[in-house]
Structure 1
Amino acid sequence: MKKAPGTLLTPILILAALLFQGGIARADEATARQQPLSTAPYLLPGAPTFDMSIAQFREKYNAANPTLPLSEYRAIDSRRDKSNLTRAASKISETLYASTALEPGTGKIKTLQITWLPIPGPEEQAAEEKARAYMTALMRFFSPTRSPEECSRRLGELLSKGKGARYYAQTEGALRFVVADNGEKGLTFAVEPIKLALSEP
């Protein structure tokens, strides 16, 4: 469990193609000594990837979640992004987006994110419930042995612990769950792979 101050985990929302404006994902994570790193773990050289492309993920995700579908991911213009990762996003609604960063060459997934932009009004509660449903579905995709109810409770715990935090992460097995709560500017939930060290003989 790690919590660290630093730059905002701004959602990947440069969505000119999707007619919305936002920022590129960034985050800091502390080391074991709580010294902040200069960049998000998935941006570090040699950071692991999920063993699938975004098209493969979307196909499998949509088959498992027909009531919470993801539209095709569209590439984002990331010429100012020095990481050289390929950025893409999928618009779910006016206040809800899915986004990703892909390894150059292989197209394998470095991070998967769901971002909700809270807009005050009569539809806010319904929009938040929809956002949580998508976040729960994303978690369950990578934790298939958990029931939807278990994933919903687990998501609630993570969002509670990460409330108001620029970056909050918990590691479970080979996964890193990330929460970035930027208040009225957006709430992002991300799932990322971690590199597992080989056990000593």
Structure 2
Amino acid sequence: MNKAFYLGITLLLALTTARAENAPAAQDRTEHLPSAPYLQAGSPTFDMTIGQFREKYNAINTTLQIAEYRAIDNRGDKSNLTRAASKINENLYASTALEQGTGKIKTLQITWLPVPGTEEKAARDKARAYMAAMERFFEPTLNEEQSLKRLDDLLVKGKGSRYYTQDEGAVRYILADNGDKGLTFAIEPIKLAMAGN
């Protein structure tokens, strides 16, 4: 595999080991961040495996396909998660962390590695399209324009932040902005509390 792939995977793994509970949108967090929520006991999963997600996602998004996910070597990882990634192109990757045993999804991520020069805008637009498509997968009431607007709002709020989160219903959107080293957008489930009487 090429150098860009490994850089993308490094960014993905950095996101899955960072966490900022209730972090302000524009705060530059330089202190050590505790583990992500899905690395903690009892964190929720989406009620589907990565194969089920891919099949449904690809059926809906015929022009924004995700190829089969490949397992990432997890030696030395004590999180008991299975990590996998799918290369979309030279600068765009999808990845996931799965619960061991069930194979259910703990998080889904899209990582974009900036392309210098004249191709940057087209590459960024493609990354935005994939991120918005993933939003619509979990919130099918959003149309393309609404999902892109929400994504752009998130990108503005999280710009320059090591880790920014925003809850929307039963999902949490996460943005890790590593500047010229790349940007990761993730979606993970939220454990909803039952309302009292």
TM-score (norm 2): 0.89
Tell me how far apart the structure 1 counterparts of residues 146 and 160 of structure 2 sit (CA, whole Å). 23
Deviation at 1:17, TM superposition (A): 8.8
Quote the RMSD (CA, aligned, Å).
Answer: 2.2
Hey, what's the Cα distance between the residues in 2 that align with 1:111 and 1:123?
29
Q: Which runs of 5+ in 1 are unaligned?
A: 1-15
Question: Hey, what does 2:21 align to over in structure 1?
Answer: 30
Structure 2 gap ranges (5+): 24-30
Cα–Cα, structure 1 residues 95 and 19, in superposed 2: closer, same or farther, change >3 Å?
A: closer
CA contact (8 A) 2:4 2:90 kept: no
Shift of residue 184 of structure 1?
0.8
- 121, 124, 143: which is aligned to 1:125? 121
CA contact (8 A) 2:18 2:33 kept: no
Shift of 1:36: 8.1
- Aligned-residue offset at 1:44: 1.1
Amino acid at match of 1:114: I
Distance 2:89 2:145 in 1: 24
1:184 aligns with 2:180: yes
Seen in structure 2, the aligned counterparts of structure 1 residues 140 and 72 have a Cα distance that, compared at 3 Å, is same
Picking from 35, 44, 51, the partner of 1:48 is: 44
Aligned letter for 1:115? T
After superposition, the C-alpha distances for 1:44-88 in whole angstroms (9 at most, x for unaligned) are 111000000000000000000000000000000011211010000
Q: 2:158: which partner in 1?
A: 162
Matches within 5 A, 1:1-201: 16=1, 20-22=5-7, 23=10, 24=13, 25-30=16-21, 38-201=34-197
1:100 and 1:150 map into 2 onto residues whose CA distance is: 25
Distance 1:173 1:68, change over 3 A: same
**Equivalent position amino acid for 1:20 in 2:** F
1:19–1:37 distance in 2 versus 1, CA, 3 Å: closer
CA distance, structure 2, for counterparts of residue 144 and residue 187 of structure 1: 24
Q: Higher helix share goes to which structure?
A: 2
CA distance in structure 1 between the aligned counterparts of 2:34 and 2:161, rounded to whole angstroms: 17
Equivalent pairs counted in the alignment come to: 186
Partners of 1:29 and 1:36 within 8 A in 2: no
What is the DSSP-based 3-state SS (H/G/I as helix, E as strand, rest coil) of the residue aligned with 1:136? helix
